[in-house]
Chain A
Amino acid sequence: MQGTTWRWITILALALGVLVAAGCGDDDDEGAGGAATTTTPAEQRSFAAGTTMAELQEAGEIKIGVKYDVPPFGFKNPETNAIEGFDIDIGKAIATELGVKPTFIEAISDNRIPFLKDGTADLILSTMTINAERDEEIDFSEPYFIARGRILVKKDNNEIKDVKDLAGKEVCTVLGSTYEETLKKQAPTAKRRLVDTYSECLELIQNGAVDAESTDDVILTGHIIQDDELKLVGKPLTTEPYGAGLKEGDTAFKEFVDETIQKFKDDGRWKQTYDKWIGRYTGEDQEPPTMTLKEAIDLTK
């Protein structure tokens, strides 16, 4: 009796295993097929052996660290579970230029620089502001977007109209972002509440645990898209040029990324992408940034 039971269990387990394996197989096929049609051009550009580009082509993929919770730059589409956004489209453009598959991994503000250094990511596209301190650690591409620092409050908040009104108030921002310093300088008596992700800031401002949130306008716009009970106030606190993060000292790879981004700006794809992710919601028009990396770094000195 017991022998038969065990035999049945074994057969069932095997059947299940086969089903699961088949299911996974299907997924893989679809994934590879989908990626192949969208990202692999007919002919791969060839690069000198030993360069990062050649190595990435050898590997067949480029690992790109992006945000998963910052619409409209990098976020998980709740319906399809795909990672989408402005940063993602730039990442895809770079992968297409290389002729490899882009693999997006989550890189929050606090771990993105370590990810680049230890090789977890080949490239970082995560709403990262170019500044002098970071430039010591990693290399930046030329700026691909210019954001401005703003303040977000609830619509019914009439107390906070500008950065000076933040005095003594609780202000949320993300650990490892530039706003920790900005707030310290521009609103020294504000109580800074630091969390790991912008979605946590959104939660805290929604439930009233903090009075305001300060970060890049585009990220804050993303919050307003999610919750229209919020509004932007005050004049811009800062200018935040975004750059792609690259491993320090890899000049050839930096040149390649710069060139790809320039092409992206010149051939109209930048504007298309801007309209798709930002212009559509803000109703504003914007030209691709012309600021150079050097100007961006000088801003923060």
Chain B
Amino acid sequence: MSSFVELLTENYGALASGFWVTCRLVVGAFVLAAVVGTLVAALRIAPSKWLQRVGGVYVETFRNIPLLVLLFISYFGLRRAGLPVNAWTAGIAALGLYTAAYVAEVLRSGVFAVSRGQIEAALSLGFDQRQTLRRIVLPQAVRTVISPLGSITIAMIKNSVIVGGVVAINDLLKESRIIASRTFETEAAFFWAAAGYLLLTVAATVAIRRLELRYAIRR
């Protein structure tokens, strides 16, 4: 056990910088996924068939291409095509857009979970379409999807290791692999990497839990 502590104290700088890189990557991708995911979900429930189709194409495209392939396209592919994207842009875009497809699907399912009767009731009480959506449907939809959104966030944190590998930025996993290859203390290096990721996923879990306690609909 002492060798584990020693490895941490000796390589604290490298591990901390890797942790920080992973944090920035995850936060960037999260914001992108939330914004794009909401927009795509809006398309999916839009009154126009065509808008719905556009949303559907987005979801099917980004959900059906493996993240690794998306990364190759966004970094190697775009650069080959003459678009000089940098590693961070490519990494955040691929992870964010990939996750956005899942976010959109979850939001859409949340909207459909609100019963038809409530919408009819709202309309018959004189709410117009927009008011019904804003005041009746969305508040309930968002509450039902807190838990699945949490799962998506945790999956995204774990998926971030794929990003670091392809676009060659020194995230937490890469820093610990560098340490492992230099010191041969493989167990200790990966132990601290696991601890770092656990810190992030536990933080996400706690945040979701609190949101759930506050807003989720108790049934």
Task: Known contacts A175-B177, A194-B174, A207-B79; decide if A200 and B168 are in contact (CB<8 Å).
Answer: yes
Of the candidate stretches B27-35, B179-187, B195-203, B208-216, the one touching chain A is: B179-187
Is chain A's interface secondary structure helix, strand, loop, or mixed overall? mixed
Query: Which among B79, B165, B182 is the interface contact of A180 at CB below 8 angstroms?
Result: B182
Q: Contact between B181 and A203 (Cβ–Cβ < 8 Å)? A: no
- Residue-wise, chain A 168-180 has the 8 Å CB interface mask toward B (1 for contact) of 0000100110001
A contacts, CB < 8 Å to B: 109-110, 113-114, 133, 136-137, 172, 175-176, 180-181, 193-196, 200, 203-204, 207-209
Q: Tell me, rounded to whole Å, the shortest Cβ–Cβ distance linking A13 to chain B.
A: 29
Contacts of B86 in A (CB 8 A): 209
Q: Contact between B87 and A209 (Cβ–Cβ < 8 Å)? A: yes
Q: Tell me, rounded to whole Å, the shortest Cβ–Cβ distance linking B102 to chain A.
A: 27
In the complex, A200→B79 CA distance in Å?
14
In the complex, A11→B169 CA distance in Å?
54
In the complex, A136→B185 CA distance in Å?
12
Task: Known contacts A193-B168, A194-B170, A196-B165; decide if A207 and B181 are in contact (CB<8 Å).
Answer: no
Is chain B's interface secondary structure helix, strand, loop, or mixed overall? helix
Q: Contact between B177 and A176 (Cβ–Cβ < 8 Å)? A: yes
A-B contact pairs, 27 of them (CB 8 A): A109-B181, A110-B177, A110-B181, A113-B184, A133-B184, A136-B184, A137-B184, A172-B168, A175-B178, A175-B181, A176-B177, A176-B181, A181-B182, A194-B168, A194-B170, A194-B174, A194-B178, A195-B165, A195-B168, A200-B168, A204-B168, A207-B76, A207-B80, A209-B75, A209-B86, A209-B87, A209-B168
In the complex, A207→B90 CA distance in Å?
14
Q: Contact between A133 and B87 (Cβ–Cβ < 8 Å)? A: no
Q: Tell me, rounded to whole Å, the shortest Cβ–Cβ distance linking A154 to chain B.
A: 13
Q: Tell me, rounded to whole Å, the shortest Cβ–Cβ distance linking B54 to chain A.
A: 31
Query: Nearest CB to that of A134 among chain B residues?
Result: B184
In the complex, A137→B182 CA distance in Å?
11
4 closest Cβ pairs, A-B complex: A176-B181, A207-B79, A193-B168, A195-B168
Contacts of B186 in A (CB 8 A): 114
Known: A193-B87, A195-B168, A207-B80. 18 other contacts (CB 8 A): A109-B181, A113-B184, A114-B186, A175-B177, A175-B181, A176-B177, A176-B181, A180-B181, A181-B182, A193-B168, A194-B170, A194-B174, A207-B76, A207-B79, A208-B79, A209-B75, A209-B79, A209-B86
Asked if B84 is at the interface (CB within 8 A of a chain A CB), the reply is yes
Q: Contact between B184 and A180 (Cβ–Cβ < 8 Å)? A: no
Contacts of A175 in B (CB 8 A): 174, 177-178, 181
In the complex, A193→B178 CA distance in Å?
12
